[in-house]
Every structure is written in C-alpha cells, then in structure tokens.
Amino acid sequence: MKELDELNLPGDLYYTKDHEWALKEGDTIKVGISDYAQDQLGDIVFVELPEIGTQFERGDEFGTLESVKAVSEIYMPISGEIVDVNSELEDAPELLNEDPYDAWIVEVRPEDEDQYDELLSSNDYLEILKG
C-alpha cells in the first residue's frame, strides 16, 4: 500500500470523503475513484455499473467495486442523471488500478451544479486522508 505522499491526487479534480473524484467537462461531470481508493481495494476484478438514464441524489450508492480484498460501494458525488458509463470496465476492471483518473466510471448531467463547488479540493481531501 502506498504512503500518503506517494498518492496521485490531481489538483484539477474534486473529491469526496468516500474517495470518489469528479471532473466537470462542459455540461457533464465524470466520476471515478481516487488513487487512495484503488490502492486500498487492491486488484479490482469486477465493476457494477448503473443504467444510463438513471437518476441519483448526492450520496446515493450508484455501483459497486469488487476486489480480491473486499466489495465496496461507489457513491454519487452530485445529484444528477447518468448520461454515460465506461463500459470498458465491464471487461477490464483492472483499468481502475492502472490509472484511476483515466478510467472514469460514469458521466453525470448534474441537477445542481453548485454541488460540484461543494466537493473537496485535492489539498482538503489529502488532509482528510491524513486524519
């Protein structure tokens, strides 16, 4: 497992206390898991993705990740509708371990864009990890 100073936490992303990241791209937001989350889970072997068109509230569970160590829920960082899923993860869930920021999980059309501004900066997220 990585030390905190070895984690990759890009400054252009926003994070949740539940270890998801979010990146605004135009009128949608891509969502994935942080480097810390993939490191803690170990080798990810299965990803359960939601259906396109499904509506979620901020904090709702929208999928699960199964690793050799555990099964972990993934939580929605913002309220909105799923407009796309990264279907590559169905056949290659290990992409999340290889690069958790390239291997986004879902793309969301937000209900309330102000929720995006309420997410954690990389520095604030790192402070939470330091505990």
What is the pLDDT, as a whole number, of residue 68?
A: 93
Percent of the chain with pLDDT over 70: 100
Please tell me the predicted confidence (pLDDT) of residue 126: 97
Region 69-92: mean pLDDT is 97
- The CATH number assigned to the domain with range 4-130 reads 2.40.50.100
Average pLDDT for 80-96:
98
Residue range 37-64: average pLDDT?
A: 98
Assign 91 a pLDDT band (cuts: 50, 70, 90). Answer: very high
| Mean pLDDT value of segment 59-82 | 97
Structure tokens at 71: 């099964």
Q: pLDDT tens across 4-38, in order?
A: 999 999 999 999 999 999 999 999 999 999 999 99
